[in-house]
Structure 1
Amino acid sequence: MKKILVLGCLLMSVVGLFGQNKASQEVEGYVINGVVEGKYKADKVYLLEQKEIQGETTVIDSANVVDNRYTFKGGNVKYPRMCFIKSAVPECTSPLLPFFLENGTIRIRGNADFFMNSEARGTINNDIFSFYNFLKRYVNDSLMRAFIIDSQIHGVQDEKTELEELRRRSDLMKRREREIETNVFEQYPDQVCAPYIVYLNMKHDLSLDELKALRAKIAPNLNEHPYTKQWDEFIRLKDFKVGSMMPDFSLPDQNGKMIRLADYRGKYVLIDFWASWCGPCMKEMPNVVKLYKACKGKNFEILGISLDNKKDTWTAAIKKNGMKWPQLCDFLAWATAPAKACGVQAIPQTILIDPQGEVIALGLRGVELEKKIKEVLNKK
């Protein structure tokens, strides 16, 4: 397998060199020449932009399909990025075709019934991404063939053996795919596909130190690319822990008055993320009410940050539960700035900070939360 990977990287070097062909280099901006194979039951395709990796897509252009061919043209692309050609056929099994939008002539060939099973070539990131997907398909196909051969030789095994074999194959596939991803990254740290592949496929499986080590290898020309900045933000959130400084924020209270975290500097502050629609939050709230009554006025404050998106349900929950501490909400739900800044993925979530703004506890609830707060307040 190592020989195959080495060969793959060598071939990618050749592919990359020829991907930037003379015709592509002479194009100002981008040209997309697409071919749809099979019976296409519509007269248009759409060009969709995705500004963030795994973010929302937006239609930015459309093109007529004539004799199964279409063309898109556009001006200079400052930051190459992942985009999609979307089928206009409602019953299309897989309507989105991914490719990197970048300067040059991009050639796309795909199937009318399954847009995902298509290939984009002609520019460097698309050539690299195409070969990367080829190598991954090779891994999947080779392991599947090995499984079929083993089944033919040994037949169906007992349940325990079959499960162990399934686990072994899955682990092997994951390791080989990781080798491919790492090799592509190491070979092309100056191309946009490098941060894209790491962020899309590797970020949750790597430790913080491993992510930082890979980030240090990204070429300087990509430091300002949105994908690299998205990676940096992921690292920052992953690194948010006890000992981090809590980012400042400002949000409106129930009366529309802007409340700023920095105004509470000098006090212990419990930041409580919650929502009226969150069952566990409502179940936990009596404990928080009890805690506030016990610790109010002891150099301590709670700031409630709601992830509600409707004012009436938010204020009704505050009144019903007797939540007397400052309550803040901008009705952006999970997109509210402090939730994003702290990487809040689930609620209820609590962050306890000291008078200097340093995080001293994360995610405490119930008895543990009460014990921690009383502990730090008794130190004064």
Structure 2
Amino acid sequence: MKFLYSLMIVTVLVSCNKETTDKHMINGNAPGVLNGMRVYYGKVGENGKQQFIDTAVVINEEFHFDPVDEVEKPEIRFLNVDGSNGSIVYLHDNNPVEVKVNKDSVFKSSVKGSKLNDQFNTYKAIQDEYRAESKTFNQQRSNFQRSGQLEELNKVMQQWQEEEKRYVSQSKNYISENKNTLLAPIILGDLISSKLIDPIDARQEFNKFSADVQREELSIRIDDYLRKIESVGIGRKAPSFEGHNPDGKVIKLEEVIAKNKVTLIDFWASWCGPCRRENPNIVNAYQKYKDKGFGILGVSLDKPGAEEQWKQAIEKDNLTWDHISRLQYFGPIARQYNVNAIPAAFLLDENGVIVAKDLRGQQLHNKLEELLGS
């Protein structure tokens, strides 16, 4: 549930008015866990990390938390067991729960006791199946790559693409079935963090949420995240920025756009191997199309103190176009364009509107030919 750690710090309302039948307590069964081992009860803190609230001791393979803190709205909770890696994740909604620990794989532990957690368990079972198949696929892919069995590699890659589609389809169906609960944003968040869904599709899934769920904090965070991506999507005007070139002169994006018919914003860095390997292709494209109105603005994400490395990389790779850098690594400009990894590129028309993103190799040449002619 990576998205729960990276995007969610918090409490999410499941329904407007939920009545509980009993106070929240945790009764745990821990087969094979030795007497004296501790179980830690916690939540997500304001810094996004686990914050422990209470501790119980295992006696005769059992442990108890009673009473447990009450909440106004359902919240994510964690249980960690001495000697086991990972956390047992469940949803605290003031109902008592029964926990059965799997000491060998805490992710296979069970939490029962409320309809909400039953629904959550159903989703986790789907997710666990996908993770197991993903592990098998990665092993097969690695074996075929090492042995050079390209035909088998292609076959297993195609099979995995179909499996990913099936998992995404299952997840979308579960979002539809649970659009009135916190499960909807949790599932969508996981699809986003796993990069299994594109922003346009994610927005469509978000719009399935009920009005109440869309107003909850996790949903608002997802909405903000999607809006940030959408602001630099194809068809949107590229946000303005500026920076100093290697000679110390301020260069503005608008100035580069004004003198070209097509402009490539190329996010790169001297330390980025994939960027440096792609540079010869960009050089070829620039040499072929610069006289037809193709310009480039290189935006370096080099780190503080790396000015000389940046300048040397420009010279060594023969990058004879406009360049800027704030020497702030993934700083304000990268965040403005939602760039979390490089190389990253945005192709703009003469009006500064984004017409393509992240074109590599022949794809860049094909698009330039389409826009500027051969």
TM-score, normalisation: structure 2:
0.62
Letter in 2 for 1:319: Q
Q: Is the contact made by 1:50 and 1:82 (CA closer than 8 Å) also made in structure 2?
A: no
Q: Distance in 2 between matches of 1:138 and 1:283?
A: 37
Q: Distance in 1 between matches of 2:187 and 2:77?
A: 14
- Tell me how far 1:96 sits from its aligned partner: 1.8
- Tell me how far 1:316 sits from its aligned partner: 1.2
Deviations, residues 219-255 of structure 1 (Å, cap 9, x unaligned): 1112233443454434873795542222345678789
Distance 1:364 1:132, change over 3 A: closer
Q: Distance in 1 between matches of 2:232 and 2:266?
A: 16
What aligned pairs does 1:283-298 form with structure 2 within 5 A after superposition? 283-285=277-279, 291=286
Q: Which residue of 2 aligns with 1:150?
A: none
- Tell me how far 1:193 sits from its aligned partner: 0.7
- 2:210 pairs, out of 213, 219, 223, with 219
Identity across matched positions, percent: 24
SS at match of 1:23: coil
TM-score, normalisation: structure 1:
0.61
Distance 1:181 1:346, change over 3 A: closer
Q: Is the contact made by 1:352 and 1:359 (CA closer than 8 Å) also made in structure 2?
A: yes
- 2:239 pairs, out of 240, 247, 253, with 247
- Tell me how far 1:273 sits from its aligned partner: 0.8
Q: Which residue of 2 aligns with 1:317?
A: 310
- 2:38 pairs, out of 43, 60, 83, with 43
Q: Which residue of 1 aligns with 2:20?
A: 21
Q: Distance in 2 between matches of 1:262 and 1:70?
A: 63
Structure 1 unaligned residues grouped into runs of 5+ = 1-15, 141-163
Structure 2 unaligned residues grouped into runs of 5+ = 1-14, 132-154
Q: Does residue 197 of structure 2 align to residue 197 of structure 1?
A: no
Q: Which residue of 1 aligns with 2:342?
A: 347
Q: Distance in 1 between matches of 2:275 and 2:78?
A: 39
Distance 1:196 1:70, change over 3 A: same
Q: Which residue of 2 aligns with 1:188?
A: 178
What aligned pairs does 1:1-380 form with structure 2 within 5 A after superposition? 21-24=20-23, 34-40=28-34, 42-45=37-40, 47-49=42-44, 58-66=49-57, 67=59, 68-71=62-65, 73-74=68-69, 76=71, 80=74, 82-89=76-83, 92=84, 94-102=85-93, 104-133=95-124, 175=166, 181-201=171-191, 211-229=202-220, 231-232=222-223, 233-234=225-226, 237=229, 241-249=233-241, 261=253, 266=258, 268=260, 269-285=263-279, 291=286, 302-308=296-302, 310-313=303-306, 315-322=308-315, 325-329=322-326, 331-333=328-330, 336-340=331-335, 342=337, 344=339, 347-354=342-349, 356-364=351-359
Q: Distance in 2 between matches of 1:212 and 1:352?
A: 23
Distance 1:332 1:231, change over 3 A: same
Superposition RMSD in Å: 5.2
Distance 1:370 1:189, change over 3 A: closer
- Tell me how far 1:263 sits from its aligned partner: 7.5
SS at match of 2:101: strand
Deviations, residues 145-188 of structure 1 (Å, cap 9, x unaligned): xxxxxxxxxxxxxxxxxxx9xx999968974x667544533332
Q: Is the contact made by 1:271 and 1:305 (CA closer than 8 Å) also made in structure 2?
A: yes
Deviations, residues 306-358 of structure 1 (Å, cap 9, x unaligned): 344x334454132343367342246453xx45445545465333213245431
SS at match of 2:266: strand
Q: Distance in 1 between matches of 2:369 and 2:160?
A: 51
Q: Distance in 1 between matches of 2:228 and 2:168?
A: 23
Deviations, residues 260-306 of structure 1 (Å, cap 9, x unaligned): 756767455532111222223224446767849x969x998744333
Letter in 2 for 1:282: R
Q: Is the contact made by 1:64 and 1:70 (CA closer than 8 Å) also made in structure 2?
A: no
